[in-house]
Amino acid sequence: MPNAAGNVPAGPVDQPLPLARGYAVFGSDSGHQSLRPPAGASRDGSFGANLEARRNFAGDALKKTRDTAVALIGAYYGREVQRTYFAGGSTGGREALLAVERWPRDFDGAIALYPAWNAAVLNLHFGRMTRALAQPGAFPGLPQRQALYKAALQACDALDGVEDGLISHQAACDTSFDPATATVGDQPLRCAPGTSGDGCLTDAQIAAFKVLNTPTVPTFTLPSGEKNYPGLTTWGTDFGFAVPNPAQSAVLTLGLGTDAPSAYPMTGVGLASLTGVATSPPYSSTFWDQWVRYFVTDDTMFNSLALDPERPGVWQQRIVQLIELQDANRTDFSVFRARGGKLLLAHGVHDALVSNRATQQFVVRVRKTMGDAATASFLRYYEIPGYGHSVSNQFGAAWDSLTALENWVERGVAPMNQVVADTVGVPGRTRPLCEYPSWPRYQGTGDVNQAASFSCATR
C-alpha cells in the first residue's frame, strides 16, 4: 500500500507533504497482494493467476478505490469532495494515465512520473533484453557497466555546452556514441579480441547493451498502433555499479542486478547488494518471467527464455489480448480537457527500467490525435537528465509538481519556468525543466549548478 503520509513521486523536499497541505489522501494495492516476502514483493506476478486481480492491476482497482474513498471522505466530512488529483510513478504513472483516460469525470488533474504506460509492450522488450543477457559471456559485471557509463560521459557530457557530470543533449549522444569505437580515458572501451577485463567490454557484452538500446519490433500488429518498443536510453545510464552511495543498492536492483538471467523460474529474488550478500537477476528479467508464466501461458513452470517476444508463435493472440487489457493506449483526452483537466508528465532521461523514449512516443501520439494547440492546453511533458527510475546517483529529482498542478487547474495559470532540484548528485543544484523535445543547454556563463545558467534548447 502507498504511504498516505508520503510525498508525490519526485516531490519537493522543501514543501509540506500533501497530507499537511490539507488533502485527504488515499491509495490502493492495485487490487492484489504479494504472496512472497517483501524483498521480492514488487516482482511477484503470481496474483495474475486470479482473473479479478489481473483486471484490477490492469485498471479496475482505480475506479473501485476512487469511488469507495470519495464515499468515505464525504461521509466523514459531511460534504462532497471538491477536486481529485492522481499522482503516481512507474506502474502508478500508468495508472495516472488510465485514470484520466477511462474516468475523465472522476479526476481533475494528474501527475504521472516515469509512466510504464505500455506495460505489456514493455514486457516484450524485457523479454528481448533477458534473452540477450542470458547469452554466454553477455552479462556485464559492475565494472563493465561503470566503464560504459564513463565512456558515454566522456563522449557526451559536453554536448550541452558544459562538462557537469550530466548528459543533457541525449539525442546528440544517441546519434554519435558507439560502444564499439568509444574510449575510456585514452583506452578503447572494446576489449581486444579474445580478451576481457574490468575496464572494457567484450563483443558479447557490447551486443547485449545494443539490444537494450534498440527497438523491440514484434512481427505482429500491436493493437495500440505502435510499431515497436523504442529501447532504453542506454548511453549514460547507471545500470548499477560499485559506488559508495546509499542509493546505489536500489539503483542496482532496478538496473541489471547482480546475476545473469537463467532458465529457471526467477523466484526468491532479493535486493541487489554491493556486498554480494543478497543477489538478484535483472529486475526487468523477473518481470518478463513472471508475466510469461502467470499472464501469458498460465504455466508456472514455463521457461520464459524459450518465448521469443518478437515472434511468440502460439502465444501471439494471448499477448495481443494482454496489451489491450493492460496498456494505457488511448490518446483522445477530449472529455478530460473539456472539463478543465490537466496532466503533468515527467521522465528521467536515464531511466534503466522504463524508457523515456516510450513516453516521448505517447506524447507524440496524443499531439497527433488532438493537435498541438489542444494538447498544450492540458498537457506538459518534461525530461530530466541524469534522473533514473525513481532513484539515481546522478541526479535525484525534486519538483513541486503539485503546486504547478493546483495553479493550472484551480487558477488557470499554466506551468512556466519550472525548476527541478537535485537531492543526490550535487545536492541543491537546479536545472530548468525543459518541455520535450527541448533540453537544458548551458548559456556559456554563470554558476553551472544554477538553473538560471541554462536555457531550454531544441538544437
Catalytic residue numbers, as ranges: 90, 351, 389
Burial tier of 339 (Cβ tally within 10 Å: 0-12, 13-18, 19+): exposed
Q: How many CB atoms lie within 10 A of CB 163?
A: 13
Q: Are 138 and 256 in contact (CB under 8 A)?
A: no
Q: What is the 3-state secondary structure (H, E, C) of the chain?
A: CCCCCCCCCCCCCCCCCHHHHCCCCCCCCCCCCCCCCHHHHHHCCHHHHCHHHHHHHHHHHHHHHHHHHHHHHHHHHCCCCCCCEEEEECHHHHHHHHHHHHCCCCCCEEEEECCCCCHHHHHHHHHHHHHHHCCCCCCCCHHHHHHHHHHHHHHHHHHHCCCCCCCCCHHHHHHHCCCCCCEECCEECECCCCCCCCCCECHHHHHHHHHHHCCECCCCCCCCCCCCECCCCCCCCCCCCCCCCCCHHHHHHHCCCCCCCCCCCCCCCCCCCCCCCCCCCCHHHHHHHHHHHHHHCCCCCCCHHHCCCCCCHHHHHHHHHHHHHHCCCCCCCHHHHHCCCEEEEEEECCCCCCCHHHHHHHHHHHHHHHCHHHHHCCEEEEEECCCCCCCCCCCCEECCHHHHHHHHHHHCCCCCCCEEEECCCCCCCEEECEECCCEEEECCCCCCCCHHHEEEECC
State how far the Cα of 363 lies from the Cα of 331, in Å rounded to an integer: 9
Give residue for cell 504511504.
3
Residue 301 and residue 388: Cα distance in Å, rounded? 33
CB within 8 Å of 372: residues ≥ 6 apart = none
Q: Which residues contact 170 (CB under 8 A, 6 or more apart)?
A: 156, 233, 235, 236, 349, 385, 439
Rounded to whole angstroms, the Cα distance separating 432 from 450 reads 9
